[in-house]
Homo-oligomer: A and B are copies of this chain.
Amino acid sequence: MNARVPEGNALAPEGYDPHAFTPFAVTVDLAVFTVRSSALQVLLVERGQEPYAGRWALPGGFVLPRESAERAARRELAEETGLSDVSGLHLEQLRTYSEPDRDPRMRVVSVAFAALGPDLPEARGGGDAARAEWRPYGSFGALAFDHDSILADAHDRIGAKLEYSCLATSFCPPEFTLGELQQVYETVWGTALDRPNFRRKVLATPGFVEPTGGAARLTGGRGKPAALYRAGKATALHPPLLRPGGPRGSQPEGRTS
């Protein structure tokens, strides 16, 4: 990370030696997930210009001169979702996509983020995007650029992190029921979980959730009112809450257990 910067470049101060060094455009791309009506939804924007005009893409934008990628991501998130208190949302760096031709126009390196939030309001297509919309994960065709890979990577990562972190509470409002929390797991993983066991597991992990103490709330009109919880201070989950059958698509063979 040192040495070799060309002379005569706007970026390069004195004292660098004159080797190859290309300036890149740096952007952020966001895979924003929410759980709405028992479905995993993703925030997409419709592109206005070429290339990929009319195609859906992940929201994102350029990193500004004095911004970190994290700050840029949070700013873009606020702009695209129309939310003011983006501070509560979980934002996590995924990885950086830097294939030379990932953008046909120029050399763009993109730092991808995954963001999670509770049932978020309708997107209002802020900024440049022609339209912004929540779409159920898997219900749409190919996205622009390499956004299909980014989105798939984000989904994998979220699914994996649910196992060994307390991330799931980021999908829930400040106060939530254990049923809602369980639905987050079931929705992201696409599998049903045993309620009694899930409950025990969550409650047995200190700092995962803490009882709100307050009154119970009705969940879906019918049934017994559920107790309310809020997120605890823990971030890691030990021992982990493993999904049945392990991560999708990385198994060598059998092993049903």
Interface string of A171-204 (1 = CB under 8 A from B): 0000000000000000000000000000000000
Stretch at the interface among A47-55, A115-123, A213-221: A47-55
* A93 within 8 A of partner (CB): yes
The reply to whether A247 and B236 form a contact with Cβ atoms under 8 Å apart is yes
Specify how many copies of this chain sit in the oligomer: 2
A200 to B24, CA, bound (A): 50
Stretch at the interface among A10-18, A34-42, A134-142: A10-18
* A91 within 8 A of partner (CB): no
Given A110-B1, A247-B236, A252-B232: A96 in contact with B67 (beta carbons within 8 A):
no
The reply to whether A1 and B108 form a contact with Cβ atoms under 8 Å apart is yes
The reply to whether B99 and A68 form a contact with Cβ atoms under 8 Å apart is yes
A63 to B47, CA, bound (A): 29
Given A60-B1, A63-B24: A11 in contact with B255 (beta carbons within 8 A):
no
Main secondary structure of the interface of A (DSSP, over half): loop
The reply to whether B242 and A255 form a contact with Cβ atoms under 8 Å apart is no
A13 to chain B: closest residue by CB: B105
The reply to whether A4 and B99 form a contact with Cβ atoms under 8 Å apart is no
Partner of A62, one of B21, B60, B235: B21
Given A11-B106, A62-B21, A96-B69: A252 in contact with B207 (beta carbons within 8 A):
yes
Q: Tell me the minimal C-beta distance from A73 to chain B in angstroms.
A: 10
Stretch at the interface among A25-33, A82-90, A222-230: A25-33
Partner of A109, one of B69, B99, B236, B247: B69
A10 to B22, CA, bound (A): 11
The reply to whether A49 and B236 form a contact with Cβ atoms under 8 Å apart is no
Partner of A206, one of B52, B58, B254: B254
The reply to whether A95 and B98 form a contact with Cβ atoms under 8 Å apart is no
A57 surroundings in chain B (CB, below 8 A): 1-2
Beyond A11-B25, A67-B100, A68-B99, 7 additional contacts (C-beta under 8 Å) are A1-B28, A11-B106, A15-B50, A26-B26, A206-B253, A236-B246, A236-B251
7 A–B contacts, CB within 8 A, in A order: A1-B29, A2-B60, A11-B23, A11-B106, A24-B24, A96-B111, A236-B246
What are the 7 tightest A-B residue pairs by CB atom distance, in nearest-first order?
A23-B23, A207-B252, A238-B246, A1-B60, A234-B252, A236-B250, A3-B128
